[in-house]
A and B are shown apart, each in its own frame.
Chain A
């Protein structure tokens, strides 16, 4: 069975601090996709990143960076120099790729609520 665990329910930081959101996953698929989404109070899930399981290269996009470690089944997300606008709920998710019976089905973690205080 597929499972995504985000152990941190809520995180509170002061603006300009760095913060890391943890994500651990379980799957029997040999290839799969991992995602991070941001959900502001408006409710829409905003896509941040998709990572294919065969690509373990870490990625940086502005203040955002992602650390994918297949050996520990983790896909952590770091925000550098956090800002108040980063306050939201962040979800990690897992799905099969086109070769898997889990294709098309996103399995989400419980989410981490990030509060960035000015």
Chain B
């Protein structure tokens, strides 16, 4: 049974560009959340998707947007990249009840 799959694993982008990160949830999970983890910090909640809608959002600007597809997979889009967006981006899937969260290995984004 596959866990959470994220792609790509590493990415280098130039300031001002746009990036799309992808996440496939664990089988049986219908809710996907995205987190940003800066170096030396704990993960910070970006947003959560359920039934193809954004259900909750953390304190992130509108440059961060997402999408959930009918098969529960999700994308995270970041526009107008800043150097400060460099981080590990983690995807977590869970049942809507929130009883358990499974994390992917993350995408390490470097903005130069």
Interface residues of A (CB under 8 A from B): 4, 33, 35, 37, 42-47, 50, 91, 95-98, 101, 103-111
Contact = CB atoms under 8 A, between A and B. Distances in A.
B3 to A, nearest CB: 9
Contacts of B108: 43
B33 A109 contact: no
Interface string B39-59: 001111100101000011010
A106 B35 contact: yes
B42 A111 contact: yes
19 contacts: A4-B42, A33-B99, A37-B103, A45-B103, A91-B43, A97-B97, A97-B99, A98-B98, A103-B96, A104-B56, A104-B94, A104-B96, A105-B45, A105-B48, A105-B58, A106-B43, A106-B101, A108-B35, A108-B43
Given A43-B105, A91-B42, A104 B98 contact: yes
Interface of B: 31, 33, 35, 41-45, 48, 50, 55-56, 58, 88, 90, 92, 94, 96-106, 108
Contacts of A98: 96-99
Contacts of B56: 101, 104-105
Contacts of B48: 104-105
A103 B33 CA distance: 11
Contact of B33 (A37, A46, A91, A104): A104
Contacts, number: 72
B55 A104 contact: yes
A103 B104 CA distance: 20
A35 B103 CA distance: 13
B109 to A, nearest CB: 12
Nearest to B58: A105
